[in-house]
Amino acid sequence: MKQPFLLALMWSLLLISNAVAQDFDSELESLAKDLASKIGVKGKKRIAVWGFVTEGGERTALADFLTEDFSVYMTNFADNFEIIDRKHLDILLEEHKLNSEGYIDSKTAKELQKIIAVDAIVTGTYTVLNTTIKVRAKALDTETALQFAANMSNLTINKDVGSYLGISINGGNTTNRGFNTPLSSNETINNPETINPNCKKMEIGDFCFSNALNEKVIIRIKYYTNHTTSIQNSHKTIVLDSNESKCLYGLPNRKFSYFIATWKNYIDEEKFKGYESALSNGKYSKFLIDKGELKVETCKSKTYTIK
């Protein structure tokens, strides 16, 4: 008698576990379905998904994650209208030199109506709370820039979403909840205390590197000096001993390139000749242990751990 009971209990727990794991997706899907229904009732035929930003109007990795999934769900429920997703919208905005960051304003909304003949724009904001992500979605009429449909939902932070945010859903470091959006498996908890008090006005953030290897490394980054240039026109080099961490403060809110090599390879390889700039030269990439792009976000501090 005990064995069937235990099997039934285990099966029930498994079903509950799966249901919790699916909450985030099903809740986001439900929000998209509701908004799609409201848009359809209004007779709109062509919709552009502007997407989600933070309450402060910042487009982050989590914002892009929400926007991408929401756009897919909207498409599935778009029986009476067409959807232009965010990726295609970005291309169109770039072609016409329109601002694609942050909140959408009435001028951009009306420009989109002229350029791609959209009837409405879907946008919204999100806030990371203790156990949920509060998402507010709304649809704007491009002719009037007025809101005609809206809804909001609290999306459950499950293990997958918690992992993406770099937080623990069962306790752990929650000081910087929602700010530590992982860019790779090597990134760890960030350092919320290092931020400049004028960071919002200056649109800057900090980035740190932590060396978890048993050997010395050299890091070179190429970054933008301000928000007006489209070229990474400055650079810095950091040398880290084993288990040492160093930070770069006041970096503009942009992506930057990084190149990491072990100190031994850098010094011993005659081709390098000790020039720091060689780290960002493509033909020396075989000597790098890591390279890529990282994102500085306004008023946020991140740590990239070298493993």
Q: Domains of the chain, with CATH numbers?
A: 2-159 (3.40.50.10610), 183-306 (2.60.40.1120)
CB 164 within 8 A of CB 128: no
Amino acid 143: pLDDT: 85
pLDDT band at 19 (very low <50, low <70, confident <90, very high): very low
User: Does residue 194 have a pLDDT over 70?
Assistant: no
Neighbours of 269 (CB within 10 A): 15
pLDDT band at 91 (very low <50, low <70, confident <90, very high): confident
CB 222 within 8 A of CB 235: yes
Residue in this structure with the two tokens 């090599």, named with its chain if needed: 261
- The residue that leads in pLDDT, 80 or 105, is 80
Distance CA 136, CA 117 (A): 25
Percent of the chain with pLDDT over 70: 71
Amino acid 28: pLDDT: 92
- HSE on the CB side for 273, CA within 13 Å? 4
Amino acid 283: pLDDT: 63
pLDDT digits (tens, 9 = 90+) for 119-139: 888 989 988 877 788 999 999
Distance CA 116, CA 98 (A): 13
Distance CA 217, CA 291 (A): 13
Phi-psi region of 279 (alpha: psi -120 to 50; beta: other; left: phi over 0): alpha
Neighbours of 265 (CB within 10 A): 17
CB 176 within 8 A of CB 190: yes
Residues 6+ apart with CB under 8 A from 160: 21, 24
Structure tokens that stand for 207 in this block = 């980035």
SS3 state at 158: coil
Least confident of 9-18, 38-47, 231-240, 265-274: 9-18
Q: Dihedral of CA 276/282/283/289: which sign?
A: positive
Query: Rounded to whole angstroms, what are the CA distances from 141 to 104, 122, 125?
Result: 12, 9, 17
Which range scores top for mean pLDDT: 26-35, 193-202, 237-246? 26-35
pLDDT band at 35 (very low <50, low <70, confident <90, very high): very high
